[in-house]
């Protein structure tokens, strides 16, 4: 059975224990079997859909950012129509629209979803566990600076903070600031500097 996993003063994150995981596996297998029996889907479709869920991840986000850092015309296309620009890189985007928000020396962006846990999954894959936690969803819109501090980022008060609640049909990506000596690095070196946390906005890569 599921239980609350409590760590000190941390807000409980609801996870399944071993028995809960087995039970859930049995239920979804049973549901899949019933749906296959009705001809509504095939086992092959499920396997292919799982593979598709597994393929996105940070590597795609890093590729987008490194390209934007080194190609100003791509960057401007990315900021005006994120979905189309991302698709130029042969990344299939299933979300209706991707809005890319740019960090600058005076501006920092943070992405959240207070109602559920909307996330640009076709680019970054599965959101981190803390992103779907009640604590992050509840506090990111009310005390985002304290939330950032918990992630080790003390944002200076004169930097404008913009929080984006992905409550409806848009999905968001943060474009972090490039290192000040961006031209010294190769694309693959730049890609290794980018973390998933930069793309959500809980980290800031000051150049």
Partner 1 sequence: MTRFSAGDHVQVLALGKEGHVRIPHYIRHQTGRVTEYCGTYLNPEDLAVGNTSGRAVDLYRVAFLQRQLWPDDAIPAQDTLIIEIYDHWLRSVKETENAP
Partner 2 sequence: MQDGKGPKGYHDVGGDAAGEIPMVELPWLHWEKQVEAIRGLLGDGTRRIVSLDEVRRGFESFGVEKYNTLSFYRRRLEAMTDILIEKGIVSRTELDRAIEAGKVRWSDLDEKL
Q: Which of 19, 22, 104, 161 binds partner 2 (CB under 8 A)?
A: 22
Q: Is 113 annotated in the active site?
A: yes
Beta bridge partners of 99: 172
Q: Which of 17, 143, 154, 189 binds partner 1 (CB under 8 A)?
A: 143
Beta bridge partners of 112: 165
Q: Are residues 148 and 110 in contact, defined by beta-carbon separation less than 8 angstroms? A: yes
Q: Which two tokens stand for residue 14?
A: 């609801």
User: Contact between 40 and partner 1 (CB under 8 A)?
Assistant: no
User: Contact between 168 and partner 1 (CB under 8 A)?
Assistant: yes
Q: Which stretch binds partner 2 (CB under 8 A): 28-36, 65-73, 170-178, 186-194?
A: 28-36
Q: Which of residues 149-168 bind partner 2 (CB under 8 A)?
A: 150-151, 165
SS3 134: helix
Q: Which two tokens stand for residue 165?
A: 């609640």
Q: Which of residues 121-150 bind partner 2 (CB under 8 A)?
A: 126, 128-130, 132-139, 141-142, 147, 150
Q: Would you give the distance in Å from CA 10 to the centre of its chain?
A: 22
What does 97 bind: partner 1, partner 2, none (CB cut-off 5 to 8 Å by kind)?
partner 1
| Largest distance between two CA atoms of the chain | 61
């Amino acid at each position: 059975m599921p239980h609350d996993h409590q760590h000190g003063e941390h807000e409980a994150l609801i996870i399944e224990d071993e028995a809960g995981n087995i039970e859930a596996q049995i239920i979804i297998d049973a549901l899949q079997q019933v749906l296959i029996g009705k001809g509504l889907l095939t086992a092959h479709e499920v396997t292919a859909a799982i593979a598709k869920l597994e393929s996105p991840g940070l590597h795609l986000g890093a590729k987008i950012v490194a390209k934007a850092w080194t190609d100003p015309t791509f960057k401007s296309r990315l900021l005006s129509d994120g979905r189309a620009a991302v698709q130029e890189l042969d990344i299939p985007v299933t979300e209706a629209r991707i809005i890319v928000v740019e960090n600058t020396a005076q501006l920092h962006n943070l992405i959240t979803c207070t109602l559920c846990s909307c996330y640009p999954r076709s680019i970054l894959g599965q959101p981190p566990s803390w992103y779907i936690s009640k604590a992050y969803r509840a506090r990111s819109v009310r005390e985002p600076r304290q939330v950032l501090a918990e992630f080790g980022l003390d944002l200076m008060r004169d930097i404008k903070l913009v929080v984006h609640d992905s409550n409806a049909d848009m999905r968001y990506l943060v474009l972090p600031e490039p290192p000040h000596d961006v031209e010294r690095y190769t694309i693959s070196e730049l890609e290794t500097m980018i973390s998933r946390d930069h793309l959500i906005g809980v980290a800031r890569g000051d150049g």
